[in-house]
Amino acid sequence: MQDFTALVSWPAAPLTDFLVRKSLLSLDPPPSTVTSLPEDYVSSPRNLLQWSTYDLIDHDLTHSYGADSRVLSSSYIIRKALIRKHFLSRCIHNYLVKHPESLLSYASPQTWELEISYADELDEMWSDDLYDLGQELDKRSNRWWILKPGMADRAMGIRLFHSKEQLQRIFEGFDEDSDEEERPGLDTNVVTSQLRHFVIQEYLSNSILVDPLEVPLDGRPKPRLKDLHGHKFHLRVYCVASGALTVYMYTRILSLFSAVRYAAPTSAVNDEDAVNGDLAAHLTNTSLQGERGEAGVRLLDELVGCHILSASPSPQEHKQPAPPRHQPRPPRAMGEVLEVDHVRSLSQAQVKEARRTAEARHLSPVLAQEDIEDIKAQISDVLAETFKAALEMSVHFQPLPNAFELYGVDFLVTHTAPFSSPSTRKYQVHILEVNSEPAIELTGPRLTWILEDLFRAIGKVCVAPFFTPVQCKEGEEHDISTWQVGDTREALRKCLEVQVRGAGSW
């Protein structure tokens, strides 16, 4: 591998900064690192890696890539088709128009876009952009919908509604003076005029529910089955895109749980404050649960053997849901850090015994290893299709041969509804959003090791081959030419490999 200099600067993300530097130290030889580019590099770039936050990357240098200099950057310059919710919605819609057979037709929630600055603009939209949604709402069914700002993060501005009137009140609430008395619960308020772009998605009410306390963190015994309570969770999948274009899925997937037990929204509630006053049962973002530490974070692989508590709920549970049960905050010392072998050594005998017991007693089913592997396979396929869709929106996604980028992609897992997909699988994954520069610091210290492995893998797979002469790669550690789609190395599963037209001329 040739010598190169690395620009490393993450002023607002110290953990990311640490992980990047540790990854670079694992390379042979390790590069010299700087926190700002010397003037001579700007005027005459040589072998340079810019592994920094997007705003500190010199994107002109990225475009200066040529025969006399090799500049690799940790972000694509144009990627709005992926990382903005309203662009992603449009991207998937356009792709499905051309490819109606794509699995994205049932692996992405039904979505509408709207651009609105003030609540009084909503009336006209019911006869235009939101006509189809208006038809659904006029049916007065039990379906619920979720409103999300297109460019906000950390669950800001998310609201639930099931009628036109309720959506109107939500936007009127956004327009009100922000100095009014704060409401109890999670603070997710936004100002409509500052955001403008929103998406409305169908609320996936049949998500699988698990109690994270079945995977104790502090040495406590597992709760008895009758003491378990279903919590909503989503999957945070780390995805690495490299060059123009290869896509990898990191196979160590996180499960992020809501703070309180799940209670389905009900049409009997007419005041949006009752539903949206405290969304803790519906929101699984770790950024809203800082006081819980890492109590709501598990590896997907750790859920093997956990009971699915959303299967066949009784009518009584719908009529009189129990009050939310807050999970205790774990102590600062979380016990020993889990090793890879420990996670993989989950007892299949215990899983099978739990399944037999559940079936014999007609109790809740459990997640088996084959269920986890099927979920991972689905995610890999959905990621591949999503990036294919983005490639067809070339104005807003332009991969470069001398760039790579880490994304945090959020998925929800639901029970497969009858006739909703051509497959016979039990569970269906749905892509929710794609995040650039994901907030990895919220993972918590117990699972920091998976982040260390992820960044080390990025160094080996994306950085080292770029600075290794072609004639030296074959048969060596940095040779990735034999890596086939579907294969896994360094805990990265290759999901997609395509040659973007024009990339070879760089």
pLDDT tens string 244-268: 999 999 999 999 999 899 988 875 5
Model pLDDT, residue 172:
87
Mean pLDDT of the chain: 83
Tell me the mean pLDDT in the region 221-229: 92
Asked if residue 485 belongs to a domain, the reply is no
| Claim to verify: residue 305 and residue 211 sit in the same structural domain | yes
**CA 33 to each of CA 8, 276, 400: distance values in angstroms, whole numbers, following the listed order:** 7, 47, 23
| Claim to verify: residue 134 and residue 174 sit in the same structural domain | yes
Q: Which of 195, 178, 200 is nearest to 117 (CA)?
A: 195
Asked if residue 480 belongs to a domain, the reply is no
Res 320 pLDDT > 50: no
| Claim to verify: residue 361 and residue 310 sit in the same structural domain | yes
Res 20 pLDDT > 70: yes
**CA 268 to each of CA 30, 172, 230, 265, 275: distance values in angstroms, whole numbers, following the listed order:** 62, 21, 22, 9, 11
Q: Domain count for the chain, please give it.
A: 2
| Claim to verify: residue 67 and residue 156 sit in the same structural domain | no
Domain boundary among 436, 458, 476: 436
Taking residue 263's Cβ as centre, other Cβ atoms within 10 Å add up to: 16
DSSP E strands in 233-387: the ranges are 233-242, 246-250, 254-257, 297-299
Please, are residues 295 and 330 in contact by the beta-carbon 8 Å criterion?
Answer: yes
Tell me the C-alpha distance between 335 and 316, whole Å.
39
Q: Which residue has the higher pLDDT, 340 or 111?
A: 111
Domain span at 212: 81-436
Q: Which of 122, 216, 210 is nearest to 171 (CA)?
A: 122
Q: Which of 276, 305, 253, 259 is nearest to 411 (CA)?
A: 253
Residue 178: both structure tokens together: 């922000």
Q: Specify the residue for token string 């089955």.
A: 225
Can you give 95-125 as a three-state secondary structure string? Answer: HHHHCCCCCHHHHCCCEEEEECCCHHHHHHH
How many residues are listed for the chain in this entry?
Answer: 506
Asked if residue 46 belongs to a domain, the reply is yes
Residue 139: both structure tokens together: 């049916």
Q: Which of 458, 412, 414, 406 is nearest to 435 (CA)?
A: 406
Tell me whether strands 111-115 and 197-202 are parallel, antiparallel or unpaired.
Answer: antiparallel
Res 424 pLDDT > 60: yes
Model pLDDT, residue 328:
47
Q: For the chain, give the percent of residues with pLDDT over 70.
A: 75
Please, are residues 495 and 381 in contact by the beta-carbon 8 Å criterion?
Answer: yes
Q: Which residue has the higher pLDDT, 440 or 328?
A: 440
Res 195 pLDDT > 70: no
The band of 64, judged by pLDDT with boundaries at 50, 70 and 90, is: confident
| Claim to verify: residue 203 and residue 272 sit in the same structural domain | yes
| Claim to verify: residue 55 and residue 148 sit in the same structural domain | no
| Claim to verify: residue 42 and residue 143 sit in the same structural domain | no
Domain boundary among 412, 436, 460: 436
| Claim to verify: residue 172 and residue 238 sit in the same structural domain | yes
**CA 362 to each of CA 286, 313, 366, 470, 475: distance values in angstroms, whole numbers, following the listed order:** 34, 12, 12, 60, 54
Max mean pLDDT among 150-154, 227-231, 478-482 falls in 227-231
The band of 286, judged by pLDDT with boundaries at 50, 70 and 90, is: low
Asked if residue 298 belongs to a domain, the reply is yes
Q: What is the pLDDT of residues 94-117, one digit of tens each?
A: 999 999 999 999 999 999 999 888
Asked if residue 207 belongs to a domain, the reply is yes
Taking residue 447's Cβ as centre, other Cβ atoms within 10 Å add up to: 21
| Claim to verify: residue 15 and residue 111 sit in the same structural domain | no
Tell me the C-alpha distance between 208 and 247, whole Å.
27
Amino acid at 292: R
Res 308 pLDDT > 50: yes
Q: Quick check: helix, strand or coil at residue 256?
A: strand
Asked if residue 464 belongs to a domain, the reply is no
Asked if residue 310 belongs to a domain, the reply is yes
| Claim to verify: residue 87 and residue 163 sit in the same structural domain | yes
Residue 82: both structure tokens together: 């992926």
Report the predicted TM-score, pTM, of the whole model to 2 decimal places: 0.85
Domain boundary among 31, 46, 74: 74
Amino acid at 67: A
| Claim to verify: residue 6 and residue 92 sit in the same structural domain | no
Asked if residue 306 belongs to a domain, the reply is yes
The band of 177, judged by pLDDT with boundaries at 50, 70 and 90, is: very low
| Claim to verify: residue 343 and residue 418 sit in the same structural domain | yes
Res 503 pLDDT > 70: no
| Helices (H) then strands (E): counts for the chain | 17, 16
User: Quick one: 395 exposed, middle or buried, by C-beta within 10 A (0-12, 13-18, 19+)?
Assistant: exposed
